């Protein structure tokens, strides 16, 4: 845990300056509640999606930027909700749109951010 009690920390990113922070760490949940594993806007249009992202503010599930709809990013743009958590089973990271940083869990078994 970080000094503020968060189970998350900013991931090192070789392409960005060291010392970057995220002002939303203390508000992030340790893990998402059970959520639907479907992008509802894509499903309504008959589209497929690549990976799903979960809004840590309101629980909205949307598809990633590699998907046709980019609904997680669209949700952030419309609401200002800053952080999404990857729901992909092989990923254990979050992205802060506001501070433009990957976040990873602290502790044993933590994953690395993409890249």
Question: Is there a contact between 115 and 13 (Cβ–Cβ < 8 Å)?
Answer: yes
Strand order in the sheet with 101-105: 8-10, 101-105, 93-96, 83-86, 52-55, 61-63
pTM, two decimals, is 0.83
- Percent of the chain scored above 90 by pLDDT? 52
Question: How confident is the model over 93-106, as a mean pLDDT?
Answer: 91
Asked if 51 contacts 63 with a C-beta cutoff of 8 angstroms, the reply is yes
């Amino acid at each position: 845990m970080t000094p503020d009690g968060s189970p998350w920390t900013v991931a090192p990113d070789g392409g960005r300056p060291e010392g970057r922070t995220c002002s939303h760490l203390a508000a992030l949940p340790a893990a998402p509640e059970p959520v639907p594993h479907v992008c509802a806007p894509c499903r309504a249009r008959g589209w497929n999606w690549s990976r799903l992202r979960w809004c840590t503010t309101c629980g909205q599930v949307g598809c990633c930027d590699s998907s046709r709809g980019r609904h997680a990013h669209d949700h952030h743009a419309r609401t200002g909700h800053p952080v999404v958590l990857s729901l992909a089973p092989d990923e254990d990271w979050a992205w802060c749109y506001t501070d433009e940083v990957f976040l990873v869990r602290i502790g044993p078994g933590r994953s690395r951010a993409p890249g």
